Amino acid sequence: MVFSTIMFLFRFLPITLALYYLAPPKLKNTVLFICSLVFYCWGEVRFFPVMLSLILLNYVCGLAIQHFDQRPGLRRFFLIAALVGSLGMLFYFKYANFVLESANALLGTSFAPIQGIQVLPLGISFYTFQTLSYSIDVYRRDVPAERNIIDFGAYVVMFPQLIAGPIVKYRDVSNQLHVYKGRYCASQIEEGMTLFTFGLAKKVLLADAIGALWTDIIGIADSPSTTFVGLANASTPLVWLGILAYSLQLYFDFSGYSMMGIGMGKMLGFDFPKNFNYPYISASITEFWRRWHMTLSGWFREYVYIPLGGNRKGLKRQILNLFIVELLTGIWHGANWNFICWGLYYFVLLAVEKLFLLPYLKRGRIWPHLYTLFFVVVGWAMFVGNDPGVEFGLLFQRLFIPTGGVSPLYFLRNYGVLLVVSVVCCTPLIEKLWDKLRSHTLTRVGTVLLLLTVSTAYVVGSTNSPFLYFNF
């Protein structure tokens, strides 16, 4: 079930909120757990046992780790069991066939693909990391083990962040999860509705609209009825315009989803961590990764980079740790070589900045932003290289070898205003404008209602457009 659908907006969400608000305090987590399971099973019922297994595994291991508090060997055993079980399941569904295909290509073997796992369980990359953070934090004694399996299940499958984040650590919400009376207030619900509305507007008014430009240029391989230029016919400037459009679409799509999730979390009485902080205004690649998908980069920093030694063991070790983190980041995003290359690409950029470039970037004004934006957009070209209708080699050939073809002028006339609006919305200017509008009740309520009405109208009048990060 997608947030930006009639089914979710007018059926699932209002019914769930009504049941949640009307439920007795002690039953709110139960209602949340059941409704979240319905949300997940709506489109992925066959993978429900996978999620249930991860919940049970980490729940039992958490209790065992705490129970054997004075026996280090047994604590370590149950932590390893949680890690191996969770990561093993993720590897099986997400990477097993990729490893087999790569082995066949590199070694000339003929391993048959595993049947039944061609489709990835929805959200498995996200909820696996959430369960892992719980078991690790219990092992570190940062949080006590959750004894109520319903409360633990509600944390894992909470529908606002289940499918595509933000990645919520157990300690982020554990206190709120155990507040049964007074978990939320009217102002919190209003703030949540506002965030949800802005997130929905990002998705349907910006991401889907600018995504149409990318589709018009590149096309969709399985939609022969769609009229598009195609890479083979596009000029180099037009391909750059297409990649820029994709970069904007990806940002508004993913940040919009995160904002909707954070908003619904507030409606339910939970404060989820921020996931985006205007990444396209960054003045370095280092800064970009502090602003983009902040919960994922924070997860890798806390559970991989720092345990490996971080920057505490010398420059060489820091570079090695950075290599491991960026490689894992690329692998996390998808079982394909272009994602691995994308992760290593960012390792090179970050390593260069760590070694010598950062001091020069800090002294610059305009060029550091242009430098960052250029390499980020090139990174997204690598990121999208395996999408339907996109040929990786041809894409980069068109980007970096000047080639004639269809001019971008027609598309600039049609999408020029939208491009300008989108670029402005990538900056804090809209937030500053909203800070002025929200000080007056009439303008605050009117703006939210107008955005909600227009966004809903677009949802009603358009076909279903899934969120891009559902693929990961």
Active centre residues (catalytic): 333
Residue 301, burial from CB neighbour count under 10 angstroms (0-12, 13-18, 19+): middle
User: Helix axis angle, 236-268 relative to 186-201, nearest 10°?
Assistant: 160
What whole-number distance in Å separates Cα of residue 287 and Cα of residue 50? 36
Element (H or E) spanning 274, and its range?
Answer: none
What whole-number distance in Å separates Cα of residue 347 and Cα of residue 324? 9
- Cα 107 from chain centroid (whole Å): 34
What whole-number distance in Å separates Cα of residue 8 and Cα of residue 260? 12
Give the residue from 53, 54, 40, 12 showing the smallest Cα distance to 122.
40
Q: Which two tokens stand for residue 349?
A: 């950029």
Indicate the residue type of 417: V
DSSP labels, 314-336: -HHHHHHHHHHHHHHHHHHH-SS
What whole-number distance in Å separates Cα of residue 129 and Cα of residue 277? 22
Q: Is the dihedral of CA 77, 82, 83, 88 positive or negative?
A: positive
- The 10 Å CB-count burial string (b at 16+, else e) for 102-113 is beeeeeeeeeee
In the 8-state DSSP scheme, what is residue 269? T
Give the residue from 163, 191, 124 showing the smallest Cα distance to 40.
163
